[in-house]
Structure 1
Amino acid sequence: MQIREAVAADWPRIWPFWHRIVAAGETYTWDPGTTEEAARRLWTAPPRRVYVAEDADGTLTGSAYLTPNYGGPAEGIANAAFMVDPDHTGRGVGRALAEHVLAEARAQGFRAMVFNAVVETNPAVRLWTALGFTVLGTVPDAFEHPRHGRVGLHIMYRAL
């Protein structure tokens, strides 16, 4: 698997799994009815740096972005988002993307990374904690999960 910075031509290959994941309404706080145009802005608008994971045969298996979480005096804190094509889960794509983005964040001078709204039932919570993130707090009953009802949103943090 290769992880590289995305180019504009990658978006049509990101959109199908982006849409599938967000439309499921289980792991992201974005509107499940987000249009492709709006989704492209959410995922790729500067200052975001977008990365893709690609198999040897050229199949795009996941994507992530890295961006400042805050501006001004707090601009040293990064934020990121990750999506793995549901057809390619369980193969280490998410971990590889996460490790790559954490290394990129350090290289770009960020001091820490924060996730503002991780759905507490998201299986990725196990990955984030394994990679050194801690739950700073949980906003209770903040997310209407289609299967679990109201669940909390974690705020997660890791120093770099």
Structure 2
Amino acid sequence: MSANAEAEPTVAAWDIREASGQDWPAIWEILEPVVRAGETFTWDLDTTQDQARERWFKRAPGQTFVAVGRGGLDGVVLGTGELHANQGGGGSHVANAGYMVHPAHGGKGVARALCAYSLDAARAAGFRAMQFNAVVESNARAVAAWTSMGFEVLATIPEAFHHPRLGYVGLHVMYRRL
């Protein structure tokens, strides 16, 4: 989960909708610095734009979505998320999701809103639960946000993530029923 998980404001200054191909440049503008920083996602630091697009845009029953600003930020993509089945076959009833927020819009509740949207979308798609496979334990804002939204840490895999500043830290597996 992104370092940009935060508390939800009283009045949202954005709308969340499914992403389109036209949103890709703005989505990549958000994804690239997060991926290159290597602090919150388990993606290779040298992930190309084409690889990122293929990975981020999901097919049914998954989806990719964006938080788009209103008012003075009308039309600006503030954050993005993606939702998909965590596994195939017998595990396909559990969803998985990821979220990234533009650093200029962190701390405003965008990540929590993206998560709430994905929980509703997962329910509507027939998923029975949501699981996050790899929440970096040093990403305290994300851990706190997801915990406040009903997720629990089921396990922590020690030293499963090599953080560029902190060295080896754990990855949480987080879960909640829908």
| TM-score range normalised by the length of the shorter chain | over 0.9
Alignment map for 1:98-109 (pairs within 5 Å): 98-109=115-126
Deviation at residue 109 of structure 1 after TM alignment:
0.9
Secondary structure of 2:65's counterpart equals: strand
What does residue 11 of structure 2 align with?
none
Corresponding residue of 2:9: none
In 2, Cα distance between the equivalents of 1:99 and 1:116?
Answer: 18
Cα distance in structure 2, aligned partners of 1:87 and 1:106 = 30
Verify: 1:128 aligned to 2:146, yes or no. Answer: yes
- Of residues 86, 91, 103, the one that matches 1:86 is 103
- Pairwise mapping of residues 41-120 of structure 1 onto structure 2 (< 5 A)? 41-47=54-60, 48-56=62-70, 57-120=74-137
2:27 — aligned with what?
Answer: 14
Deviation at 1:133, TM superposition (A): 0.4
% identity of equivalent residues: 52
CA gap of 1:97–1:45, structure 2 versus 1, over 3 A, is closer
SS in 1 for 2:113: helix
Q: Distance in 2 between matches of 1:140 and 1:129?
A: 19
Does structure 1 residue 153 correspond to structure 2 residue 166?
no
Gaps of 5+ in 2: 1-13
Matched, 1:144 2:126: no
**Structure 1 length-normalised TM:** 0.97
Q: Aligned to 1:29, what secondary structure does the other structure show?
A: coil
Shift in Å at residue 146 of structure 1? 1.3
The worse-fitting range, judged by mean Cα deviation, of 113-122 and 42-51 is: 42-51
* RMSD after superposition: 0.9
- Counterpart position of 2:10: none
| Number of aligned residues | 160
Deviation at 1:108, TM superposition (A): 1.0
Structure 1, gaps ≥5 residues long: none
TM-score scaled by length of structure 2: 0.87
What do the CA deviations read for 1:90-131 (whole angstroms, capped 9, x no partner)? 111011111111011111111000011111011211100000
